[in-house]
Amino acid sequence: MTDHAPHSPFLDLDGFIALPRLGGLSLSPDGRRLVVGIGTLSADRTRTTTSLWDVDVDGQRAARRITHSVDGEALAAQTDDGLLLTAKRDVPAMGEDKPTETTKALWWLPAFGEASVAAARDGGFGFVATARRSDTVLLGVPVHAGVDDDAADASKRAARRERKVSAILHDRPGVRFWDHDIALEHTRLRRARLEDGRLVDVHDLTGDVGRAIESAELSPDGDLAAVVWRVELPRGRSRDELVLVDVATGERRTLTGAEGKSYEHPVFDDAGRRIAVVEFDDATPTQTFDQRVVIVDVADGVARPVAGGWDRWATPVAFSPDGATLFVTADEDGHRPIFAIDLATDEVRRLTEAGAFTSVQRSPDGATLFAVRTAYDCPGEVVAIDVATGASRVLPTVDQPTLPGRLERVETAASDGTRVAGWLVLPKGCDADSPAPLTLWVHGGPISSWNAWSWRWCPWILAARGQAVLLPDPALSTGYGRAFVQRGHSRWGAEPYTDVMALTDAVEARDDIRDDSSTMMGGSFGGYMANWIATHTDRFKAIVSHASLWDLRSFASTTDYPSGWRDQFQPEIFTEHNPALFADRIVTPMLVIHGDKDYRVPIGEGLALWWALTGSYEGEQRDFPHRFLYFPDENHWVLTPQHAKLWYETVIEFLDAHRSGRTPERPELL
């Protein structure tokens, strides 16, 4: 069953980490230039760097690389005349102003010519937004709290650097986020004009408003900014309001905001008179959060829900030019299609079929949508979608690697009769005469779905080695309606667990799957499920628990956003669904993996699990079945190429060894 083709990048991990990877997509306002980021392995094979490529909107020619720096670039914004981008390039002196090691530039790359500095400042730039019908540019810039101007900001940054001070004094709850400290700087909004490749007439719009500004979008005429504005609440809680800022005067008003609700992903219509935005209801201990798309009138702030009877959680991406249709994406039964919503009737029309669609861009005439499509059998492609018919065509970018097997949709009925679905990856040559061993792989989130290609959680690496891989969407997964999420809310060890096991039972009953050598793995919430499975069954030969939640009580107070979990956890979850309370039941060999820079699931969870495994083991140390793969410098995902390679090497060997009844061998570099 194993694909031994020497060219297969899924069998050769060095080849796998070198595969090009599609990033975000951007369309110029006039619709003539489509740009995508493509990540490739650096010359020393230790980093992935991104270059920008021009994609032919008509699909007649191959994509053309337009940036070439060694350390890569990131597209910040696009106009009809060129690109604004960030890059790790040496910043030249601007007159008498000499750059420091913390001076960062925003670069201008015209349609024809070399990149030049559009603006530079100590501390650099955050987000950048441009207007479709004006030369207005909106900047989010990081500035230290309490300073008056950029000179004072640079002076404070220099003083901290020279004295080697990294300490941060916090005066509000948030301290860390995912994999970085929440720094001293706060985002301030500034407006500017783009003139001959330079940002001119730069003016501060908001001043020092603390951590309030999350993101911002410009109206097509550049007159208004729709700002996601964070409001701090008691007990470490917060909500995000939608605030309008007048770009000429800096005057601002709350467009929509209410207790228990937050707003994200604002999108202006072409006239600049309405904004489509996602409205969230906070979760409670008994109810999962809910969300809907609403359209808010810019003049009076009146909001109306869109397609209120549609049981899907959608994200707006664009209006049609006449404002009659709203295009959205939403998880849907193992996919993430693009939908068109008729705003007069609330009728929802699905435009695309298989795959997950991101970076959706609308052509000026509204006839075409461009997007990046991935799926579990598609690493990534740029597509053009005909809005009238839904027909799509692939635009040339990167070559697709040949997959070492096939993908099937599987489903079963849970114990309560609920349909539970997932994907099954099958290796080449797998059939009734040559059944494949199974690896169960549970996704993170937990509010998530196996619907898009992942370079970090890639089942085809296992398939290339003869394994079948089950990717289930149990209770708490998206794309199956709110009630399906509610089934598992604050009941992680109940329906999510029994759903996973029911689908595993159904797949193991197939004649092309072995039922005597299954292994299991998962990361984040999937790591929680790995720990729960380890404490509640011995049916698996080995279990991999990556970035996992072990003791829910300690996790809920040490994660980067404790109030978010406190508001939705019932007290019973800390007793009835807490793996740490059942540690003495573990008999299955476990590989524990954790990064020290993981602030979403702090390293203490991995350490506590490891101590539970080591502290309860009564056999000889040489026979100790468990392993702990520790990454001092990695985050929740383990992203650097060589560490990702070691991750796969260790996981593959651990699973294979315990299937074969032998002791795992140590990878060469470990």
At residue 6, does pLDDT exceed 80?
A: no
- Which CB contacts under 8 angstroms, 24+ apart, belong to 534-540? 534/579, 534/585, 534/586, 534/588, 534/590, 535/579, 535/582, 535/583, 535/585, 535/586, 536/493, 536/497, 536/582, 536/585, 537/501, 538/587, 538/588, 540/440, 540/588
Check whether 49 has a pLDDT greater than 50.
Answer: yes
Among the ranges given (82-91, 358-367, 492-501), the one the predictor scored with the smallest mean pLDDT? 82-91
Calculate mean pLDDT across residues 505-530: 98
Q: Has residue 416 got a pLDDT over 70?
A: yes
Q: Which of 26-30, 87-91, 164-168, 525-529 has the lowest mean pLDDT?
A: 87-91
Say if residue 312's pLDDT is above 90.
Answer: yes
pLDDT digits (tens, 9 = 90+) for 453-488: 999 999 999 999 999 999 999 999 999 999 999 999
4: pLDDT strictly greater than 50: no
Model pLDDT for residues 603-639, shown as the tens digit of each residue: 999 999 999 999 877 777 778 999 999 999 999 999 9
Instruction: Count CB-CB contacts under 10 A for residue 621.
Output: 7
**Is the pLDDT assigned to residue 203 strictly greater than 80?**
yes
In this prediction, residues 10-15 reach a mean pLDDT of: 95
Each residue of 158-183: pLDDT tens digit?
999 999 999 999 988 889 999 999 88
Burial of residue 74 (number of CB atoms within 10 Å: 0-12, 13-18, 19+): middle
pLDDT at residue 668 is higher than 60 = yes
Flag whether pLDDT at 48 surpasses 60.
yes
Measured CA to CA, the distance from residue 360 to residue 385 in angstroms comes to 10
Q: What are the percentages of helix, strand and coil residues in the chain, rounded to 5?
A: 15, 35, 45
pLDDT, position 5: 46
Mean pLDDT of the chain: 94
What per-residue confidence (pLDDT) applies to 78?
94
Amino acid at 487: R
Closest by Cα among 459, 529, 471 to 498: 529
| pLDDT at site 3 | 44
- Judge whether residue 451 has pLDDT over 70: yes
pLDDT category at 92 given cuts 50, 70, 90 is confident
**pLDDT average, residue stretch 6-12:** 85
pTM over 0.85: yes
Determine the average pLDDT of the residues in 379-399.
96
Q: Which residue has the tokens 């829900």?
A: 305
- Strand, helix or coil at 328? strand
The answer to whether 471 and 485 have CB atoms below 8 angstroms apart is no
